[in-house]
Amino acid sequence: MASPLASPASTGPPPPPRWPLALSRLLFRPSDASASPHPPCLLLNPAADPSPDPRCLGLIRSGAWHCSPPRVPVLGYIRTGPPFVLVISGLRVGSFGSVYKGTMMSNDQEVVVAVKVLNLQQRGASQSFGAECETLRCARLRNLVKILTVCSSIDSSGLDFKAIIFDFLPNGNLDQLLHQHPSEHGNQTGVDLVQRINIAIDVASALEYLHQYRPAPIVHCDLKPSNILLDNDMVAHVGDFGLARFVDHDQNSLPDISSGWATRRGTIGYAALEYGLGNEVSIYGDTYSFGVLLLEIFTGKRPTDADIVQDLGLHRYVQITLRDHQVASVIDEQLLLSVQDGENKGRASNGSSSSSTREVMIVAYIASILHIGIRCSEEVPTDRLLICDALRELQGVDDKYRVHLRIGGR
């Protein structure tokens, strides 16, 4: 039997869409993979369209659509009826397709967007498309990514083509922020403590909304740093709902959109332990993933890092340091540097507490957050905190932190 953490199972034709999808024609041909550092993508090929729309071609030829960054070659365009979408550069490869950066016109304004093009040769990609559209059609929250439009059609070769167009969030994903050197991300100081707490609260808020959604709770099933995107204000948005499920209140059965189409239930290191045994998805699985995520945010260590695996996992690794009162040894070095930098800047203006007292206080607050991560990622599902309780505790830590250290809100 295939592992639920490996690849989706073959399940026959995808279910019919539950809501009308905008139809369009595909005006692309495959590229030569060797000509670009990005994976095989889509190149502009007006000749493939028997009746190209002069408005779209005119915009391209006149340069009225300016690529960002400058001189990035246009890879192609999707015609969904007004507005058109230009794909201008590749961003990343996901489980079921590739994500590109593009532009579209909205109310006579050029808007930067992210375009997720499904790789329909990948087993489960069509079902992933349906799950993502259905979930985000129903769910509306600031801390979830926003779908602008979708495209479901056939290309010039008669093959199926599906794409989802989202708001573009310029600060990338959390995995990049945590694990790239700050200068690689255009940030010289990294992600500071306040930002990390805010991101954790944003993600918990999104999960609380999904788990309390009616008529049926929604389980994300693939929560991890690369699926958390950040906007200009560093507000976190949970994305990639390709594995999402709606669950009944008793969490024992699933509606048609999510039953039987895939056995895949997350990513190794972040997926709940019971999923590896083939157990049904539940809100407790998301809570486990959130607990691991919380530990990673404040330790800077991935659950799949070689040294962590040898030490029996991130949960156990952090648990031992908390037990032995060695919290400072497990905190992300970049976070400690940002705290020390804040100390140096704040000494003159904050005479109410010494540098050492302030640092001890900060370590104590981080320890409180790590304890929440430990309780969310317990081995037994029913021993885990509910996400609403984890959110309330995080907000309590945040409030206390701001009061004692005299830091303002967002």
Active site residues: 222
Cα→Cα distances 195→198, 319, 408, Å: 5, 24, 12
Torsion of CA 243, 246, 248, 252, to 10 degrees: -10
Buried b (16+ CB within 10 A) or exposed e, 253-275: ebeebbeebbbbbbbebbbbbbb
Strand-strand pairing, 97-106 and 147-154? unpaired
Cis peptide leading into residue 82 (ω within 30°): no
Q: Confirm if 216 and 137 have CB atoms less than 8 A apart.
A: no
Q: How many CB atoms lie within 10 A of CB 81?
A: 11
Cis peptide leading into residue 69 (ω within 30°): yes
Q: Confirm if 322 and 367 have CB atoms less than 8 A apart.
A: yes
Spatial distance between the Cα atoms of 127 and 209, rounded to a whole number of angstroms: 23
- Choose among 139, 118, 122, 141: nearest CA to 130: 118
Spatial distance between the Cα atoms of 153 and 21, rounded to a whole number of angstroms: 9
Q: Which residue is associated with the tokens 């979708």? A: 150
- Choose among 264, 42, 2: nearest CA to 131: 264
Structure token pair of residue 17: 């869409």
Spatial distance between the Cα atoms of 89 and 72, rounded to a whole number of angstroms: 7
Exposure of 216 in the CB half-sphere (CA atoms within 13 A)? 21
Spatial distance between the Cα atoms of 340 and 18, rounded to a whole number of angstroms: 53
